Amino acid sequence: MGVTVATTRVALNTDTGEQNITTDDLGGLTPKAAMLFLSWAVTDGVAADGLSLMVGITDGVVSKCHNGWDQHNLATSNTGYSNQDVPIYVVDPATGSVDCQAAFSAWITNGVTINITDAPTSALLLTVTFFAGTDVSADVDIIKFPGTDTVDVTAPGFEPDLVFVLGNDHNSWPISSSNMKWGFGVCHNDRASGITQRCVLGFNRDNRADAQTTVYYSNAYVTGAFIYDAIGLSVSLGTFDANGFTATASEETTKVWAYLALRFGSGPAVASWVGDHTTPTETGNDAEIGPSFTPQAVILHGTMAEAVNTVYTDALGGSLMVSAFDEDDAYATSGCADDGAATTDTQSLSDDVPVQLPDDDGSAGLTASFVSLDANGWTLNYTAVKPAAKYMWAVAIEGEAAAEGNPWYYYAQQQ
């Protein structure tokens, strides 16, 4: 089988040492890359005080992660971020110091072994999406601008189909600093019609008497940076070739971001898609038909933004969600900070559904359960919605195509 993508979730061990993370959905394959989502949550569906949200990436050789955090129940806001060279690094929002850190140890059949070097105080809920198969190529590295506005990224050594980009606007990696700065984006290379890119940028300001939250949803860039409540820098990916891609910033810069590049081979066509998922305004089943194929896996990055390329500095700016689902597993990880609160009101949440994104104050926001993977996309059942549609970027990866020699090949060609 050329490409298999599968998602699982585990509770992290609270002791140092190695922990195996596996899923039978890989069918005996050994992964080539993984994406990891983690928050401060420890109990399914129950919010934990304090916002600490992380996305990590690894290809087994290089690992990176990005964590943003915001402390709970303070008269003056205390926020920060950390970019590290490990797949798991989570800051305790109450102290601003690392609570959990784990390094990549080894790929194993059906999963990965991590080595926990800083054990979490509680068993944090970790979601992992694996990429496996003979047609999968993967590379994790950094995009570094050496004082120019365009850089040629050749480290992948192949032409990617998808490039996930994470991090913020600092000029070094690893780094930890004040002010929560969140950045997570993706670019799709469609050789027939060009590229599609999306990103979500967040900013929770440090040392404020009233909490200040900001979010930006872009359909034009793969990453960027806030200067307080305005976009100060934007980055887009451009020419894709046999060795990688180009990245162009809106001005000369020395900033650094991390990326995971994926290619799904040249065998039986395995398509991928990046686009907008706009949430419904009425409860019930909602069909997303953007991909125009049947996915085997979907990744979402949710916000409360109601328009693209618009900076929100109000209550709509305080909620972020990352989630992943396949045909039998769905997990959402979110973090929220109440905008304008004189006493900071923040939380983290993990739930076994594809969408669970509370409002900035932790009240009910968006909730959806999995229904099906369909011929053109997927269907979710929304049980909590908002009066206005909200924007999420979505990534879908096609189910395995039938190969010549496979008994299903002739049947597939007739459909």
Encode pLDDT of 133-188 as tens digits. 999 999 999 999 999 999 999 999 999 999 999 998 889 999 999 999 999 999 99
Choose among 99, 110, 119: nearest CA to 12: 119
Domain range holding 138? 4-414
Who wins on pLDDT, 411 or 332? 332
- pLDDT of amino acid 404: 37
Going by C-beta distance under 8 Å and a sequence separation of 6 or more, which residues neighbour residue 193? none
- pLDDT of amino acid 413: 32
pLDDT at residue 403 tops 70: no
pLDDT at residue 407 tops 70: no
- pLDDT of amino acid 363: 96
What are the tens digits of pLDDT across the range 268-294? 568 999 999 999 999 999 999 999 999
What are the tens digits of pLDDT across the range 311-325? 999 999 999 999 999
pLDDT at residue 16 tops 90: yes
- pLDDT of amino acid 237: 97
Structurally, the chain folds into a number of domains equal to: 1
- pLDDT of amino acid 79: 97
Which of the four pLDDT bands, split at 50, 70 and 90, describes residue 408?
Answer: very low
Which of the four pLDDT bands, split at 50, 70 and 90, describes residue 80?
Answer: very high
User: For the residues of 68-117, what is the DSSP string, one character each?
Assistant: EEE-SS-SS--EEEEEESSSEEEE-TTTSSEEEEEEEEEEETTEEEEEEE
Distances from the Cα of 89 to the Cα of 100, 104, 168, 314, angstroms: 6, 12, 15, 29
Rounded to the nearest integer, the mean pLDDT of the chain is: 94
- pLDDT of amino acid 405: 34
* Beta bridge mates, 323: 300, 332
DSSP 8-class letter at 13: P
pLDDT at residue 360 tops 60: yes
Gyration radius from the chain CA atoms? 20
Rounded CA gap, 238 and 251, in Å?
15
What are the tens digits of pLDDT across the range 63-76? 999 999 999 999 99
- pLDDT of amino acid 267: 55
Query: Residue 414: is it exposed, middle or buried by C-beta count within 10 angstroms (0-12/13-18/19+)?
Result: exposed
- pLDDT of amino acid 305: 98
Distances from the Cα of 239 to the Cα of 184, 233, 374, angstroms: 20, 20, 32
- pLDDT of amino acid 411: 30
* Sheet with 111-118: strands ordered across: 17-22, 111-118, 98-108, 88-91
- pLDDT of amino acid 229: 83
205-230: buried (b, 16+ CB within 10 Å) or exposed (e) per residue? Answer: bbebeebbbbbbbbeebbbbbbeeee
Over residues 35-43, mean pLDDT: 97
pLDDT at residue 222 tops 60: yes
Rounded CA gap, 231 and 220, in Å?
13
Tokens, residue 136: 């999968």
- pLDDT of amino acid 400: 66
pLDDT at residue 402 tops 70: no
Choose among 342, 305, 343: nearest CA to 321: 305
Who wins on pLDDT, 192 or 205? 205
End-to-end CA distance of the chain: 20
Choose among 35, 57, 121, 118: nearest CA to 298: 35
